Structure 1
Amino acid sequence: MYESMFGNTRRIAEAIADGIRLQRPVSLIPVGQADRLPADVDALIIGAPTHAHGLSRPESRAEAVVWAGNEQKHLKLDDAWSDSGVREWLADGSPRSAGWSAPSRRRRSAAPRTPSRSSPRTRA
């Protein structure tokens, strides 16, 4: 299942699905059609864009719609974009109501932070 405003996350989801499809059957479903998820899944992989370092919110999705309307940005909304996203799907208990259980942890990059030019550590 994926959420995508401009198609980038969808394209990554398609590539992952294509790789898995070599070994197992795969259904690729946008979050707006989450009610179509089969009840007998072996694994559920969820992909979502990051908006301001986290899952998208209604406000960030509304801003994306505005950006798509700005011709200078050269953005087009994905055909399957939705007013509701992965954040809302997880928050409303959908995985639990479907009988699924999984660890849900917010993952952050373990990469070290790069000091800014004004940082005292970078001065000679």
Structure 2
Amino acid sequence: MASVGKETGLADQSADPDDPVCVAEIVSLTDTVLGFRLGTTTRQQMNLYLPRLANELNVLLDADLGAQEDREVREIVRRARSLVELPNRPTSETPTFKLFIHLRDIANLSRRLLWIYTVRNDLDVP
């Protein structure tokens, strides 16, 4: 069972201290990031969310997502791992547009993997 915090709608799921996946945090971060607009979001905002979301994605990638049994899940996991590998992460030299796209890619894959995780663990789908 996932740790779900106190967010409305997710609070009735009990938290399991042995499960580091925080459904509420991932939902909150991805909602925020996917709400960013290129013309109005600052690089500072993106720089704030990138490590937080990448960390949550890494936690999700360590969970049992069924990648051994499902080729499509395996492909999503491969793409997600590629995004969070150090050589592929944006740096201070990366243009803001590329940082924006990278952050949205992480948010989109996090959402997909979170859905897979919640289905596999019989949790309410966020």
Q: TM-score range, shorter-chain basis?
A: under 0.3
Q: TM-score, normalised by structure 1?
A: 0.27
Max Rg structure: 1
TM value normalised by structure 2: 0.27
The structure where helix makes up a greater share of residues is 2
